[in-house]
Chain A
Amino acid sequence: MGQFWIFVRKEMWHILRDKQTLFVLLGMPISQILIFGFALSNEVKNSKIAILDHSKDLTTQQLIKRIESSKYFEITDYLSHSSEIEESFKKGDIKLAIIFSPDFEKNLYHSHEASVQFIADGTDPNVGTTLVNYGSAIIRDYQDELLGEKKLPYQIKPEVRMIYNEQLNASYNFVPGVMAMVLLLVCSLMTSVAIVREKELGTMEVLLASPLNPFFVVISKSIPYLFISIFNILSILFLSYFILEVPIRGSVFLLIAESILFIITSLSLGLFVSSIAKTQTSAMFGTLIGLFMPTLMFSGFMFPIDNMPVPMQILSNIIPSKWFFIIVKSIMIKGLGYMSIWKETLILVLFTILMIFISVKKFNKRLDIE
C-alpha cells in the first residue's frame, strides 16, 4: 500500500505545480455559487415597461403611480400614440406596454366600466405571463379599494403556504445542482484527461511496468481529485449556508457521506471514459458531451424533467446526477433522513460498481494487447 501513496503523491505534485488549473478547479464552484446566488434570479422584477395613457386623468395618474412604485416595474417610456408601441418593443427595451383607454375616469364612474390593456412581449412566455399577472393584480387591488366596504359574498379565500422555502429563494434549487455539476466536472473530466495524457505521452507504460497492480496505478491518479472535490463540497456548503442563507435541515454528516459517494461515482465515470478514449481531446469532448451535457439537461436542476418528452424522461433515469440532485435536495432542503433516500443511494452504489467493473475489464483487455 506504501507504493500506492507514492503514486498519489506524484499526482499531487503534478496538480500543485499547475497553478492555473488548480485555481480554476477550486475557484469554479465558488464563482458559480456567487453568480447563481447574487446575479441570477428567476424572479421577474424591475422590468422595463411603457405607458400609453390616452386619458391622462386623476385615476390613471393614481394607477400609474402605483405601477411605478411596484418593484416589478420600471417605467421607461411614456408613449403618446399607439403606433409607438411596436417601435418600443422592437428597440428591445420594454417587456410590457400598459394602455389606458380614452376617458378612463369618466367611463369608470359613469358607465361603470373602463378598460386597461396589457400588451406583453411574448418572446419569453414566462416573463410575459408573470408581468401581466402582476399588472392585473395592481389594478385589482385598486379596484378592491374602490369597492371599499362593499364586500363580495361567498368568498373562497386561499391560504397559501410555501413549504420548504417560504422566501422562494432560488438558491434552494441550484445549490444542489451546482454541487452535482462541479463534482462531476472536476472528477470525471480531470481524471479521464489525466489518465489519457499519460497514455499519450507514453509515461503510462513506465508506470505500468512498476510492481504495483496496474489498476491501482490508474486509481492513484484519481485520488487527488477526491481531495479537491471534498474541499469543493465544503466550500460550496459553507458559502451557501453563510452567504446565500440556504439551510442544511438534515444531517450534515449524511450529506457529506452522500457527496463522497457521488464523487466516487464521478471518478468511476472518469475511469470509464479514460478506458475508451485514446487522446486528451477525445477524453475532453467525451466527458463534456457524454457526461456534462446530460447532467445539465437531465438532472432536473436547470430544466424541468416533467416537461420533457417521455423518452427523455426515461433517459433521465440513467443519469447519476439526477439521483444525487434528489438526494441533496432531500437532505438539505427537506431535512429528510436516510430512510427516504436509500433507493437513490442504492442506485448510485450499483451504478458505481458497474462502471468500475466495466473499466477494469476494458483496462485489462487493453493491457493484454499493448
Chain B
Amino acid sequence: MRNILTIIRKEFSQFFRDKTNIRMLLVMPAIQLIILPLVADYEVKNIKLCVVDHDHSHYVNEMIQKITSSGYINLCAYENSMDKAMHLFEQDEADVILEIMPDFEKNLIRDNEVTIGVSINAVNGPRASIGGQYLQSILGEFNREIRLKWIQFPKFNPVPIIKTEHSYWFNPSMNYKHFMVPGILVILLTMVGANMSALNFVKEKEIGTIEQINVSPIKKYEFILGKLIPFWILGQVVLTIGLIIAFLFYGIIPKGSIALIYVFSSFYLLAVLSFGLLISTYVKTQQQTMLISFFFMMIFILLSGLYTSIDSMPKWGQVVTWFNPIAYFVKVNRMVIMKGSGFSDILPSILSMIAMATVLISWAVFNYKKRA
C-alpha cells in the first residue's frame, strides 16, 4: 500500500510540474465542451430552398410563404429554369428544388389533382431524407388548408378519422445540445484519461527509468495501480469541470443523481485507463502509443452511439458495442442526465463495466513484464 502511495505522489509531482499538463486539463474540457456542442448540431434546419416557378400564380406564393414560415426552410433562390436551379445544386447552394409546372392553379381546380416536382440534393443522405419529410408534411398541411377553404366539409364527418398526437419527453425543447453534451463529456474524459496514462507509461520506457523500477522489489500490480490512480483522480476532476461547464454554458442539470454519474465513472475510468496502460505495455515509443490509441479511440467513438443510433447498426455492429466502454458511458450519461434514470436502471451497465475493468487491469498487469 505504501508503495502505491509513493508512486502516486511521484506522478502528481511530475504532473503538476509541467504547466502544459495543467493547461491541457483545463483547456481541453473547455474547448471541447464549449465549442463542440455548438458545432455538433445535427438538427436539420436552414434547408436551402430554390423555387422554379413556371406558373406565377397566387397560390404558389401562398405555398412558398407557408413553407418558409416553418422556420426550417429558407427560400434562397427563385429561378425560372430548371437548368439554373441544377447549377445551384452543383455549387451546394441549394438543398431542395421545388418545381411548379405551368398552369398549376388551373390544373388543380380542373383536374382535382396536380403534381409538383420536389428534387432533393441527396449527397448527404440523412439530411436529404429528413428535409424531404419536412417539406412533404408542410405541403400536406398546405393541401389540407386549401381544401378546407375551397370546399366546405359537411359538419358531420362521414369518414372515420384516426387522430394522432405526439409529445417528446425528456427534451421538450428538442435541443440538440442537451443530447450532445453528455456524450461529448464522455469522449473528453476518455481522451484525457486513456491518452495521458498511456503516454505517461511509455515515457518511462523511452527515458529508461522503467528499468530502475523493474529492478526494485515493487510488485507489478502496485506499479500499475500507482500509475492508474492519479489519472483516475484527474479523470474525476475533468468530469467535475465538465459537469460545471455543462451547467454554466448550457444550463444542463442532471435529472438523476449526480452521485450515480460518479459511481459509473469510477468503474469506467478504471476500464479505459487500464486500456491505455495495456496499449503502453505493448509499444515502445510515444509516437506509436499516440497512433495506436488514436486508432482504437476512433473506432470506439464511431461505434459508441454518440452520433448514430446503435439500434440502427447491423447485428454484428451491435455485438461489437457490447465490448465498447464508451458506448456504455454515453448511454448511461444520457440516461442519468436527461431521463433521470436510477441505480437499478443502469445496474446492468455498471456490471458490464466492472467486468471490463477487471479483465483489462488483469491483462495489463499480466502483460507488464518486469523481466524480459
Residues of A within 8 A of B (CB): 18, 20-21, 24-25, 27-28, 31-32, 35-36, 38-48, 74, 86, 89-92, 95, 108-109, 112-130, 132-133, 135-136, 139, 142-143, 146-147, 150, 152-170, 172-173, 189, 193, 197, 280-282, 284-285, 288-289, 293, 297-298, 302-304, 306-309, 312, 326, 329-330, 333-334, 336, 340
Contact = CB atoms under 8 A, between A and B. Distances in A.
B19 interface: no
Contacts of A48: 311
B158 A112 contact: yes
Nearest to A133: B133
B303 A306 contact: no
B367 interface: no
Nearest to A151: B112
Interface residues of B, number: 107
B189 interface: no
Report which residue of A108, A124, A284 has the largest number of chain B beta carbons within 10 angstroms of its beta carbon.
A124
B352 to A, nearest CB: 13
B41 A39 contact: no
A123 B298 contact: no
A293 B164 CA distance: 43
Interface in B112-160: 112-130, 132-133, 135-137, 139, 142-143, 146-147, 150-151, 157-160
A116 B162 contact: yes
30 contacts: A21-B287, A21-B291, A38-B317, A39-B317, A92-B331, A92-B335, A92-B346, A95-B311, A115-B164, A118-B165, A120-B166, A121-B170, A122-B174, A125-B43, A125-B179, A127-B309, A146-B159, A154-B113, A160-B120, A162-B128, A168-B126, A193-B287, A280-B287, A288-B294, A297-B35, A306-B46, A329-B123, A334-B123, A336-B90, A340-B90
A114 B163 contact: yes
Contact of B161 (A112, A130, A326): A112
Contact of B123 (A21, A165, A280): A165
B112 A153 contact: yes
Contact of B115 (A40, A45, A157): A157
Contacts of A95: 309, 311
B31 A120 contact: no
B311 A47 contact: yes
A317 B274 CA distance: 40
B170 A89 contact: yes
B43 to A, nearest CB: 6
Given A90-B340, A136-B166, A308-B38, A24 B291 contact: yes
A346 to B, nearest CB: 15
B126 A125 contact: no
Contacts of A126: 42-44, 130, 176
B6 interface: no
A168 B122 contact: yes
B12 to A, nearest CB: 19
A336 B316 CA distance: 37
Contacts of A336: 90
B217 interface: no
Contact of B160 (A25, A119, A146, A340): A146
A319 B283 CA distance: 33
B312 A43 contact: yes
Contact of B302 (A28, A40, A162): A40
A112 to B, nearest CB: 5
Given A43-B312, A143-B162, 8 more contacts: A28-B298, A90-B345, A92-B335, A92-B346, A114-B161, A114-B163, A166-B122, A281-B199
Nearest to A308: B39
Given A20-B292, A119-B167, A161-B117, A114 B162 contact: yes
A21 B108 contact: no
A115 B118 contact: no
B129 A168 contact: yes
Interface string B329-372: 00100110011111001100000000000000000000000000
Contacts of A133: 133, 137
Contact of B171 (A41, A123, A130, A282): A123
Contacts of A35: 299, 302-303
Given A35-B302, A43-B126, A159 B118 contact: yes
B320 interface: yes
B166 A117 contact: yes
Contacts of A150: 159
